[in-house]
Structure 1
Amino acid sequence: MDEIALFFRQSSPTSGLGRHRDRVPGLPADPEELSAIVRGLLIHNYTATVQGLRFSAERMSHMETVGAAAILDNVIGIDPAPLDRERPVERRMFGFCYHFALLHCALLRATGTPARIRCGFAGYFVAQRWIDHWVVEYWDGSGWVLTDPQTGRGDLTGDDFQDGVTAWNLCRGGASRPAVYGNGELWGWDELRGSLINDVAALNKVEVAGWYWCDRLHVEPLDQPHDELDMSLDVLARLAAAADAVDKLRNCVDLYPEFQPPAGAVAR
């Protein structure tokens, strides 16, 4: 695990803090304390709606932000206070689960903890449904710990969250029903395909939300099986599930470059 831990302790182009690196000294190294800091900087779009908060079109456009440095550009542009100072809800960056997970992962890496974000499905939002979601895994020295920086839930289990690789393999093997995976708009195979490729990309430290850019996934009907496409994704998922070294993770990308997000992809 030394090689894997080192790989995930180093920043990626999307998780690097860049011009904001000097804001890290003084922040706690404890993963859950960093998770709380992230919640004090961001507000989820659904939470804002429930609370009746109104944001300008410019502030709402922050939903498209990719990259931890760009997230902090937004955060600091709204309120230049130190990162560990909790903002009032109306002065937090408007985003979604991807932004919480990526910023938490970036701060973990910057403070010395190996971490990675995982795209998959949470089982704690809607009963008997798996809702698409991003969380964080960090290495505690003996194993990977799953935590949700958006909600503050820690020590997640397989009953709480399934990463995209796991969800795909369960559904393809018949152990789970595809129809219960998705969000408020779309359920089934398209959601499973998109979360799988996002999850594999994030394991290779290319952390981008959304899969609108992936022409290979544009099949009809979206929510139904597609033999040729799905067999390729079976191979991708099988390789990712068995990858216990950095070169094996990279092999997933080398074999199917069409499933790797291009430079400049934005969150959607």
Structure 2
Amino acid sequence: MEESARFYRQPSVTSDLGRHRDRVVGLPAEPETLGAVVRSLLVHNHTAKVRGLRFSAGRRAHIETVGAEAIVDNVVGIDSAPLDRARPVGRRMYGFCYHFALLHCALLRAVGTAARVRCGFAGYFAKGRWIDHWVVEYWDGSRWVLTDSQTGRSDLTRDDFQDGVTAWKLCRAGAAQPAVYGNGELWGWDELRGSLINDVGALDKVEVAGWYWCDRLQVEPLDQPHEELDQVLDVVSVAEVGECFELYPDLRPPADAVAR
């Protein structure tokens, strides 16, 4: 595990804070406290809608931001205060769960904690449904701990969250129903395929959201089984970190991919 921990302590292209590395000085190192810092800098797009918050088109465009350095660019561009200074909700970066998880992961790595982003499905947003979601997993010295950087839920169990690899295997084995996995608009196999690719990419430290870049996943109908493609993804789901992209380089997320 020490080798794995060393790997996940180092920043990736997408989790590197770049010009903002010095901003971690003085931040709390405790993982859950650092998660609270993240929540004081960002506002989820759904939260903004529910609260009736209005943002300019330019601010709403931040939801397409990729990479931790660019996230902090947005944060300090709105309010240049130190990162441990909580912003009023209207002066936080407009984003979604990916941004919370990636920024938390980037800060954890920057303070020396092994961490990785996981893309998968949360079971606590809607009863009987698994909703597309991003969380963080950090090494506490003895085990990997799952925490939801957006909501503040900590020490998640597998009943709370299924990473993309786990969800894929369960559905392919017939132990779970694909139709209950989705994001509010899209449900089923397309969501499972995309989350699998995102999760495997994040394990290889290419942390990007969305899979519109991946032509190989664009099969019809999207929400139904596709045996040729799904057999390839079965291999991806059991491969060692990085190995699957040697076999199928077209499935490796590009570092500039954006959600839409």
**TM-score with structure 2 setting the length:** 0.99
Aligned match of 1:133 = 133
CA shift at 1:41, angstroms? 0.1
Correspondence for 1:50: 50
Tell me what 1:67 maps to: 67
Letter matched to residue 221 of structure 1 = P
Task: Quote the Cα distance in structure 2 between the aligned partners of 1:156 and 1:53.
Answer: 30
Q: 1:260 aligns with which of 249, 252, 258?
A: 252
Provide the rounded CA distance (Å) in 1 between the counterparts of 2:242 and 2:130.
Answer: 28
> What RMSD, in angstroms, separates the aligned Cα atoms of the two structures?
0.7
Q: Secondary structure at the match of 2:43?
A: strand
Q: Deviations over 1:136-157 (max 9, x none)?
A: 0000000100000100000000
What amino acid maps onto 2:2 in structure 1?
D
Q: Distance in 1 between matches of 2:123 and 2:105?
A: 21
Q: How does 1:171-182 map to 2 (within 5 A)?
A: 171-182=171-182
- Deviation, 1:70, is 0.1
Mapping for residues 96-107 of structure 1, pairs under 5 Å: 96-107=96-107
1:249 lines up with 2:216 in the alignment: no
Segments of structure 1 that go 5 or more residues without pairing to the other structure are 240-247
Gaps of 5+ in 2: none
Aligned mates of 2:104, 2:255 — CA distance in 1: 22
- Supply the distance in 2 between the matched residues of 1:53 and 1:144 (Cα, whole angstroms): 36
Q: Which residue of 2 aligns with 1:242?
A: none
Secondary structure at the aligned position of 2:242 is classed as helix
Amino acid at match of 2:243: N
Q: State the one-letter code of the partner of 1:258.
A: D
Structure 2 Cα separation of the partners of residues 225 and 3 of structure 1: 37
Identify the residue that residue 218 of structure 1 maps to in structure 2.
218
Partners of 1:108 and 1:253 in 2: how far apart?
A: 26
In structure 2, C-alpha distance between the alignment counterparts of 1:262 and 1:112, rounded to whole Å? 26
CA contact (8 A) 2:13 2:255 kept: no
* CA deviation string 1:38-97 (max 9, x = no partner): 000000000000000000000000000000000000000000011001100000000000
Amino acid at match of 2:173: G
Letter of the 2:202 partner, please give it: A
Where does residue 87 of structure 1 map in the other structure? 87
User: Which stretches of structure 1, 4 residues or longer, exceed 3 Å deviation after superposition?
Assistant: none
**1:258, CA displacement in angstroms?**
1.1
Residue 32 of structure 1 and its aligned partner are, at CA, apart by: 0.4
Q: What is the CA distance between 1:250 and its match in structure 2? A: 1.6
Q: Per-residue CA shift, 1:227-260, capped at 9, x if unaligned? A: 1000000111022xxxxxxxx3121221111111
Name the structure 2 match of 1:231: 231
Counterpart secondary structure, 1:169? helix
Q: State whether residues 36 and 152 of structure 2, in contact with CA within 8 Å, keep that contact through their aligned partners in structure 1.
A: yes
How far is the alpha carbon of 1:184 from its aligned partner? 1.2
The CA deviation at 1:263 is 4.0
Rounded Cα–Cα distance in structure 2 between residues aligned with 1:43 and 1:196: 26
Q: Which residue of 1 aligns with 2:196?
A: 196
Q: How many residues align?
A: 260
Amino acid at match of 1:151: T
Contact 2:212 2:259 in 1 (8 A): no
Q: Equivalents in 1 of 2:59, 2:252: separation in Å?
A: 29
TM-score, normalization: structure 1? 0.96
1:144-199 deviation digits (Å, cap 9, x = unpaired): 00000100000000000000000000000010000000011110000000000000
Amino acid at match of 1:230: D
TM-aligned CA deviation for residue 266 of structure 1: 1.9
Q: Distance in 1 between matches of 2:259 and 2:175?
A: 31
2:109 & 2:94 partners in 1: Cα distance? 23
- What is the alpha-carbon distance in structure 1 between the residues aligned to residue 170 and residue 255 of structure 2? 31
